[in-house]
Amino acid sequence: MLLEGQKVLITGASRGIGRATAIMCARHGADVGLNVYKDPDATADVVAEIEALGRKAFVYDGDVADATSAPAFVKGAAAALGGVTAFVSNAGICPFHSFLDMPQDVFLRTLNVNYTGAYYMCQAAANQMVEQGGGGSIIAVSSISALVGGEMQTHYTPTKAGVHSLMQSTAIALGRYGIRCNSVMPGTVATDINKDDLADPAKREYMEKRIPLGRMGHPDDIAKVVVFLASDLSSYVTGASVLTDGGMFVNLQ
């Protein structure tokens, strides 16, 4: 097991990549802190999975875009689990919308959840790790969309680029404390975030044909990389990003 004795906190942990990451961290020996948002049934299911693995689960229900959520989640989890050794900023939304008529509320909500919320959460986690001493690992779930665009994602792709850049700068700011900061960049993973978009057979076929490995990602494909970045296997890795996309990014022709 790669995370024995670790205390790993994950935002947006009730579904998709966050859920898979929480369960995989528990499978590797970690107790986990779960930030969730108004998703009680799915949350209960994740907690049951984690406890069935013999690990502890702490739950905090709060909107990452609300500045009060970050300290409440981090401090609550640290008290319940006995500290924080790794933090995964995962919560995110992607309400596909055209650019010219992008509603301000859609733009601002996407920015506040995906970037501002990530900033608040990573800052709170870093302060906890500094207070504890002993270093730690912060992982942001960025995206292939940090590197390339999307016609219906003009509000979204900059937030993914933002969290990637945030890890580069926090890696510098926190290195002196032994805190590593890295991002994982998933390609396309079939989850609730893109359920409606991928319900279009033509879009789904287009995306799948772009992937040299011949399939879209599974949440576990991303969770494995997060476990690596949280573990001592990545002890000299900071300020890095791990593209985890089945080869989609490099596939021009």
Ligand X SMILES: NC(=O)C1=CN([C@@H]2O[C@H](COP(=O)(O)OP(=O)(O)OC[C@H]3O[C@@H](n4cnc5c(N)ncnc54)[C@H](O)[C@@H]3O)[C@@H](O)[C@H]2O)C=CC1
Number of Cα atoms under 13 Å in the Cβ half of residue 155 = 24
Residue 156 catalytic?
Answer: yes
Tokens of 228: 């690596």
Which of 115, 119, 156, 234 is flagged as catalytic? 156
The answer to whether 15 contacts ligand X (rule: CB under 6 A) is yes
Tokens of 207: 């995306």
Report the C-alpha gap between 150 and 191 in whole angstroms: 18
Please, is 218 exposed, middle or buried when counting C-beta atoms within 10 Å of its C-beta (0-12, 13-18, 19+)? middle
The answer to whether 91 contacts ligand X (rule: CB under 6 A) is yes
The answer to whether 160 contacts ligand LFPNKLMZ (rule: CB under 6 A) is yes
Residue 143 catalytic?
Answer: yes
Which residues in 191-250 contact ligand LFPNKLMZ (CB under 6 A)? 193-194, 197
The answer to whether 232 contacts ligand X (rule: CB under 6 A) is no
Number of Cα atoms under 13 Å in the Cβ half of residue 32 = 35
Shortest distance (Å) from residue 191 CB to ligand LFPNKLMZ? 8
The answer to whether 17 contacts ligand X (rule: CB under 6 A) is yes
Q: What are phi and psi of 64, to 5 degrees?
A: -60, -25
List the one residue from 2, 26, 32, 64 that touches ligand X (CB under 6 A). Answer: 64
Q: What is the DSSP string of 53-119?
A: TT--EEEEE--TTSTTHHHHHHHHHHHHHT--SEEEE---------STT--HHHHHHHHIIIIIHHH
The interface mask with ligand X, positions 111-150, x = CB under 6 A, is --x---------------------------x-x-------
Shortest distance (Å) from residue 160 CB to ligand LFPNKLMZ? 6
The interface mask with ligand X, positions 22-61, x = CB under 6 A, is -------------x-x-x----------------------
159 Cα distance to chain centroid: 13
The answer to whether 192 contacts ligand X (rule: CB under 6 A) is yes
Instruction: For the chain, give percent helix, strand, coil, nearest 5.
Output: 50, 15, 35
**Residue number with CB closer to ligand X (4 or 151):** 151
Q: How many helices (H) and strands (E) does the chain have?
A: 8, 7
Q: Which residues are known catalytic residues? A: 143, 156, 160
Residues that bind ligand LFPNKLMZ (CB under 6 A): 94, 143-145, 150, 160, 188, 193-194, 197
Residues that bind ligand X (CB under 6 A): 11-12, 14-18, 35, 37, 39, 63-65, 90-94, 113, 141, 143, 186, 188-189, 191-194
